[in-house]
């Protein structure tokens, strides 16, 4: 039945992130609150929380961090860059294997190839300091993966609520091979490799969280205490590790606020000051 697939897939793009990478500037400024339970994100009508519980700001005083807002122009500037060495497509379902987990401290660095032509490549460094010494800009914590491009970052930053459209692709392609879902996800702006891991994530979560998610059709993403609803938590618990290992970039390890509000200590503080 179609109704049994109307569950929210979208937590995994938010999986991971430790907030340990040194800030590259950010927006600075005073956070909205010093409440330790205040969450980082941009809640909407689907979230179940409001801006008194969640906002795109963390900490207070000298430890405050408010990243620069992602305006349309800033998001568009990401798409002006061309990645010179694109990752290979997935040939098999990564959920049928056990990808190596991310190594602590690693970061994915953006390195300019030709500034005039706006071309770049991505390199995994053992630490943020190593990336800085090489002249790279940390674009996210953890090793580079299938979603590490600036093109995919543009999707993450330009669509704060990815849960709804990703869910829509899953519903639209119900009963079709995963490639149909991947094609739908590419229409959201994802690169093909990144769309693949999102598609496989949707397929896997559907297979292991169906009963939980079918009972929460139309439910808010989060409970009043800030925890994820049981469907999204199942997605994160059952599909998150593989997604994180393969995708590389998540919203939390990139420092991107989304409609899924997260504890500040899990969010990387990155400035994303690309040339």
**Any idea where the domains of the chain sit in the sequence?**
2-87+100-266
Query: Which of 2-16, 147-161, 166-180 has the weakest average pLDDT?
Result: 2-16
Write out pLDDT tens, residues 100-128.
888 999 999 999 999 999 999 999 999 99
Distance in angstroms (rounded) separating the CA atoms of residues 190 and 195: 6
Burial (CB count <10 Å: 0-12, 13-18, 19+), residue 86: middle
Look at the chain and count its residues.
275
Q: How many other C-beta atoms can be found within 10 angstroms of the C-beta atom of residue 168?
A: 14
CA distances from 142 to 32, 77, 101, 123 (A): 28, 24, 10, 11
Assign residue 111 a region (left: φ > 0; alpha: ψ between -120 and 50; beta: otherwise). Answer: beta
Burial (CB count <10 Å: 0-12, 13-18, 19+), residue 225: exposed
Distance in angstroms (rounded) separating the CA atoms of residues 79 and 219: 34
Token pair belonging to 238: 């059952």
As a whole number, mean pLDDT of residues 215-223 equals 92
Q: What is the dihedral of CA 41, 45, 50, 53, to 10 degrees?
A: -40
First to last CA, the chain: 49
Task: Give 35's pLDDT tier (boundaries 50, 70, 90).
Answer: confident
Largest pairwise CA distance in the chain: 55
Which residue intervals of 82-191 are DSSP H helices? 128-133, 150-158, 163-172, 178-186
Instruction: Find out whether 232 and 221 touch, Cβ atoms under 8 Å.
Output: yes
Give me the percent of the chain exceeding a pLDDT of 70: 90
Helix (H) or strand (E) holding 75: helix 72-78
pLDDT exceeds cutoff 60 at 167? yes
Token pair belonging to 18: 């430790």
Which pLDDT score, from 0 to 100, does residue 252 have? 98
Query: Which of 33-47, 74-88, 246-260 has the weakest average pLDDT?
Result: 33-47
């Amino acid at each position: 039945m179609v109704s049994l697939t109307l569950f929210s897939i979208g937590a995994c793009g938010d999986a991971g992130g430790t907030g340990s990478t040194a800030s590259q500037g950010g927006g600075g400024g005073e956070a909205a609150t010093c409440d330790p339970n205040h969450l980082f994100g941009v809640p909407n009508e689907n979230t179940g929380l409001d801006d008194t519980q969640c906002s795109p700001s963390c900490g207070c005083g000298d430890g405050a961090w408010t990243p620069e807002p992602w305006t349309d122009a800033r998001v568009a500037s990401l798409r002006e860059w061309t990645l010179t060495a694109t990752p290979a497509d997935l040939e098999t379902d990564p959920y049928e294997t056990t990808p190596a987990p991310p190594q602590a401290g690693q970061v994915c660095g953006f390195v300019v190839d030709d500034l005039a032509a706006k071309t770049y490549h991505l390199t995994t460094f053992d630490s943020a300091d190593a990336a800085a010494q090489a002249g790279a800009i940390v674009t996210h914590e953890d090793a580079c993966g299938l979603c590490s491009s600036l093109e995919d970052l543009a999707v993450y930053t330009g669509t704060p609520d990815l849960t709804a459209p990703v869910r829509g692709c899953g519903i639209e392609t119900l009963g079709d091979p995963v490639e149909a879902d991947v094609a739908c996800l590419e229409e959201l702006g994802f690169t093909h490799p990144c769309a693949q891991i999102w598609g496989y994530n949707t397929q896997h979560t559907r297979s292991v969280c169906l009963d939980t998610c079918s009972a929460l059709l139309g439910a808010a993403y989060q409970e009043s205490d800030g925890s994820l609803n049981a469907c999204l938590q199942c997605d994160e618990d059952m599909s998150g590790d593989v997604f994180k290992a393969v995708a590389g970039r998540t919203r939390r390890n990139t420092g991107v606020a989304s409609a899924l509000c997260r504890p500040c200590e899990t969010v990387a503080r990155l400035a994303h000051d690309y040339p």
